[in-house]
Structure 1
């Protein structure tokens, strides 16, 4: 007995078309996706990887619709955001354009990155240091400018994401690389948060 099933859930699962019609449409959609996956597996590796990359980018853009909608509104305008998202959902036209663009970029990215790796491999040690220094400088400049571009809300989100990434990296070094079961690892972050609160409180 499924105690969590409600009429609203059934209506959602059957696409509000009735139990019989909605179930048939859902089964046909799943069968179509399975057939598309089988056909995708028959393609050569390069176009298959490009299509998967395009699908991944499109799915992420749909799942993170609220976040990207806010980014588009802050960077451009509300009208631009409404041309891509409606009620936080990715519009079909925007999804198609995003899928096509990301698939094409992913298809040609591999050859371009291989060419760059070959060029980088031909450089001497001083040239490689110069390239790395330039890359780090550009990355640092982007990180400095990004909060002014994204605004307060998205900067706070990225700040929290960065903190959790640091925590995961440190935990990986302590538990994964060193093999130490450090259950009190998060106490370091707690002390840092407490000190930060003391220093920044008024």
Structure 2
């Protein structure tokens, strides 16, 4: 198995507001009950939180925030969190200033996917990226872009990636899950899900992001040199 650095980062897009009914006597439809799972990133749970058979618990350190998930039948993995000051991303910042946040995040998501698409075959011959998709939305009232892809090797899924990138005006947050085939994957797993486990966890991941708040409370610090 060949180690290969993973790239993760995605985009933003504003949701269009829904217009009201022209009939004043027509009642608005009842709001759908939210299936969001509340996650306060400034205070990740120290004790296991149980949701639909999955247990969640803070498993990060002072440098790398993370939320670990385990299931008695579906395996284990982690939700990883990174953040980037816009001052350290001159191309992204230029895109924001020229075309707005939504366009900048779309560009950055596509740029990230293209980097992975070019990188994987170099260190992982015979691999092929499929099922690339982008979905704009919001997280904690901030514009966000969810994106993901699968990687095949010899026609077999060996990597399953889902990312939410959230932009709050001066910081880009990247929250992701990755599933890796421990035997035939393109890099050594480091606390990641296995591919089937990541696919099973994905609906829960979307619910976690739907209920995420206080991304600025991640507590991320620059990692030590070396």
Same fold (TM over 0.5): no
TM-score of the two chains, using structure 2 as the length reference: 0.21
Whichever structure has more strand as a proportion of its residues is 2
When normalised by structure 1's length, the TM-score is 0.23
Point out the structure with max Rg over C-alpha.
Answer: 1
Higher relative contact order (CA 8 A, sep 6+): 2
